[in-house]
Chains A and B, each alone.
Chain A
Amino acid sequence: MQQKPILLTILDVLSIIGLGAATYFALVFAPTEAVMGNVQRVFYFHVGTAWVGLIGFVLAALAGIVYLITKDAKWDRFEVAAVEVSAMFFFITIVLGSIWARPAWNTWWTWDPRLTTAAVTELVYIAYFMLRAGIEDPEKRARFGAVYALLGGLSAPITFMVIRLFRTIHPVVVGNGNPEAQGGFDMTGSMLTAMFVALGAFTVFFINLMWHRIRLGALEEKVEQIKLKVSM
């Protein structure tokens, strides 16, 4: 693995500071929501992780397009990194949503359009790794992965838009409210601040993890190449 760039070390430090700040703003700075109580504080992490999760899936789709055009392996590494890091963040989003839903909706899970599309999106990206693991030829693996990421990328805007297009009990905090929503709340100024701190912190952390994962991908490729050379 190449020597770690100084900018990556700075990002490591910024990520730790950012996550610490996001936790402080969520737990201490933001006021307690009047009806739901303290569980509403997971909302800041829920939104932050959902943001980077969905953005990553869109980035993976774009990287897939660029790979199919250029056939440059670096875009395959970028795509894998975006999917893996986003799948991890999106898993947190879903679990936090479920934890919040228990006291707010009196159930851990319901097959509401938003929850269903979110679960499908996560499963689509878990299947992405199963697909890649089943293909031995690196070039074919990258090509199939790119097409899959491109198609899978459609699930991200669908998941984002579904609460704005269909009848759902999931609250729409940003944008127009949904009359069917349960558990919605009005954002105060300090709640908005906490949300933007979480969005910023998770964005920095996402970039940081992406960079580390891309470097890991380069190392994987190097090992794969030398393995081939030795075995020949």
Chain B
Amino acid sequence: METINTDNYMIAGFIVSFVTIGIYLLSMYVRARNLKRDLETYEALDSPDKK
């Protein structure tokens, strides 16, 4: 039986896998950065000097 040329599908599969993982990692990084910024802001508001 002849092997079908399915190279494009394989390339698409690996691109989708790595792009999805990349987007997820980026989303974790952005969320962590924003939370740290929020924490700093709230800590500054909560500090005794501001009261």
Contact = CB atoms under 8 A, between A and B. Distances in A.
Contact of B3 (A27, A32, A99): A32
Contacts of A216: 28, 31-32, 35
B6 A37 contact: yes
Contacts of B7: 37-39
Nearest to A102: B9
Interface in B1-51: 1, 3-7, 9-10, 12-14, 16-17, 20-21, 24, 28, 31-32, 35-36, 38-39, 42-43, 45-46
Given A32-B3, A35-B3, A42-B10, A96 B16 contact: yes
Nearest to A45: B17
A34 B46 contact: no
Interface string A199-232: 0000000000100110010011011001101100
B4 A23 contact: no
A103 interface: yes
A34 B36 contact: no
Contacts of B17: 42, 45, 49, 92, 96
B9 A226 contact: no
Interface of A: 1, 23, 27, 32-42, 45, 49, 88, 91-92, 95-96, 99-100, 102-103, 209, 212-213, 216, 219-220, 222-223, 226-227, 229-230
19 contacts: A1-B36, A23-B14, A33-B3, A36-B4, A37-B7, A38-B5, A38-B9, A40-B6, A92-B17, A92-B20, A96-B17, A102-B9, A103-B6, A103-B9, A216-B28, A223-B38, A223-B39, A223-B42, A226-B39
